[in-house]
Amino acid sequence: MPENELVEELDLDQYKYDFRTVDKPVFRTEPGLSEDVVRAISAHKAEPEWMLEFRLKAYRLYLRKPMPTWGADLSDLENVLDKIYYYVRPQDRMKNNWEDVPDNIKNTFDKLGIPQAEQKVLAGVGAQYESEMVYHSLKKEWDEQGVIFDSIEDGLKNHPDIFRKYFASVIPPADNKFAALNSAVWSGGSFVYVPPGVHLDTPLQAYFRVNQERMGQFERTLIIIDEGAQAHYIEGCTAPVYSTESFHSGVIEIVVAKDARFRYTTIQNWSNNMYNLVTQRALVNERATMEWLDGNLGSKATMKYPSCYLVGEGAHGSILSIAYAGDGQHQDTGGKVVHAAPHTTSSIVSKSISKGTGRASYRGLCKVYEGSTSARSNVECDALLINETARSDTYPYIEIDEQSANVGHEATVSKIGDEQLFYLMSRGMSEEEAMALIVRGFIEPIAKQLPLEYAVELNRLIEMEMEGSVG
């Protein structure tokens, strides 16, 4: 494994401040996209014939599909898409200099209390080391239970039957333009299979999955939770991911089988030049439960709507979404629930904060098909505006085809109350502290669902983002 060599060649202390990878032959495709590029990616990964055909079909679909005209402003994106490299071998990507990482990102790392080595990983200048030990002991445990937790590439290679059965079954390439693009050029991501009845107490964290690319530009994740199994998967973290790339388009497919239970947690904090367009969807079967916990900070524009397709009787879907739009950012996020079986239930809770010239939009769908008797769905959206240049939108779509369904949607938009501020300041807090406290209270219902270390980081991050908001 080339990445292994890479790790061994490094001495952490020596490279504390001038970390570089040793030059290696670089594999990357030509800038821009063509059928040749798609073929080159597939050939480089030594994929089976069916996958190449799948990619090519998706590529043609991508060319035909129109750009979305709703949501975030993507008018500059065409330029970006012509210039980017659609495939760069992962270790070749870590060529950044630590010195090149912007100061504000470094400061954020310091304030969040992230160790130096980890900072480099997050900044894209290093691979993961320290978690290796943790990973190996966990790996043993998983192996014993028959749990597969691999890179998506290894999933295809080592588990072709399960892979092929489920791959693109939840999100076909024709779903939308960016799902088609991802299907054509995907690279990196996780493959997870949890066998029937297995309950995993420790969350599966993409973070621990060393020796593989952590996150690609066109990541593809496929997760199957078999009958009666239970698991929790965590992707990303609250610290900003610094990347020289300006486009990220992932596809995340999840199948939750009968009576299974699964939670997918992701907190993403992209650098401010990033277009983040992600399709993530779960197919939820009889009496199964799917929970999305989705946090979006950073990026230039994010379009991301985690979905639950409730296809089995008694299935339950829940989406907790939090978005923070700072200066110049547009978070167009939300959730979709589709009820296609009787007695299905769902809930969406969305909290958004817009500050400066930021814009946070909630966009959601609640659809109940005829025959989904007694379906229940509840949607709550709350938006907080920090100052007068910020913007908040709510675009819910409610489509009900079933008489016995009960669906409710409530949304509020407000600013931080002067009375709340006055009260806290009369107790000796500065205005900034008071505002940060109010914002923390606002997101508390979602933060408390996070694993402790993430909640702590999220709170610190919110505090930092609130700095300088008074004035």
**Binding-site ranges for other proteins (CB under 8 A):** 70, 370, 383, 385-415
Question: Of 192, 203, 131, 196, whose CA–CA distance to 166 is shortest?
Answer: 192
Query: Which residues are CB-contacts of 398 (< 8 A; sequence separation ≥ 6)?
Result: 365, 366, 407, 409
Q: How many whole angstroms separate alpha carbon 390 and alpha carbon 104?
A: 22
Beta strands, E only, 251-371: 251-256, 261-270, 275-284, 289-298, 301-304, 307-310, 316-325, 330-339, 345-354, 359-368
In the complex with other proteins, the residue whose CB is nearer, 205 or 345, is: 345
In the complex with other proteins, the residue whose CB is nearer, 158 or 389, is: 389
Query: Which residues are CB-contacts of 257 (< 8 A; sequence separation ≥ 6)?
Result: 196, 224, 225, 226, 227, 228, 229, 285, 288
> Cβ of residue 416: shortest distance to other proteins, in angstroms?
9
Backbone torsions φ then ψ of 461, nearest 5 degrees: -65, -45
In the complex with other proteins, the residue whose CB is nearer, 174 or 411, is: 411
> Cβ of residue 427: shortest distance to other proteins, in angstroms?
24
Question: Token pair for residue 298?
Answer: 């950073």
Query: Which residues are CB-contacts of 105 (< 8 A; sequence separation ≥ 6)?
Result: 123, 240, 242, 271
> Cβ of residue 408: shortest distance to other proteins, in angstroms?
4
Query: Which residues are CB-contacts of 267 (< 8 A; sequence separation ≥ 6)?
Result: 236, 237, 238, 295, 297, 450, 454, 458
Query: Which residues are CB-contacts of 208 (< 8 A; sequence separation ≥ 6)?
Result: 128, 131, 134, 135, 138
> Cβ of residue 184: shortest distance to other proteins, in angstroms?
25
**Three-state secondary-structure class, residue 82:** helix
Q: Residue-wise over 352-383: b if at least 16 C-beta within 10 A, else e?
A: bbbbbebbbbbbbbbbbbeebbebbbbbebbb
Q: How many whole angstroms separate alpha carbon 172 and alpha carbon 350?
A: 27
Tell me if 278 sits within 8 A of 306, measured CB to CB. Answer: no
Question: Token pair for residue 281?
Answer: 């969807």
In the complex with other proteins, the residue whose CB is nearer, 167 or 324, is: 324
> Cβ of residue 360: shortest distance to other proteins, in angstroms?
10
In the complex with other proteins, the residue whose CB is nearer, 10 or 385, is: 385
> Cβ of residue 369: shortest distance to other proteins, in angstroms?
10
In the complex with other proteins, the residue whose CB is nearer, 122 or 360, is: 360
Q: How many whole angstroms separate alpha carbon 433 and alpha carbon 420?
A: 12
In the complex with other proteins, the residue whose CB is nearer, 255 or 365, is: 365
> Cβ of residue 69: shortest distance to other proteins, in angstroms?
9
Query: Which residues are CB-contacts of 463 (< 8 A; sequence separation ≥ 6)?
Result: 436, 440
In the complex with other proteins, the residue whose CB is nearer, 97 or 412, is: 412
> Cβ of residue 294: shortest distance to other proteins, in angstroms?
20
> Cβ of residue 405: shortest distance to other proteins, in angstroms?
7
In the complex with other proteins, the residue whose CB is nearer, 85 or 395, is: 395
> Cβ of residue 398: shortest distance to other proteins, in angstroms?
4
In the complex with other proteins, the residue whose CB is nearer, 197 or 371, is: 371
CA 247-308-222 angle, to 5 degrees, is: 55
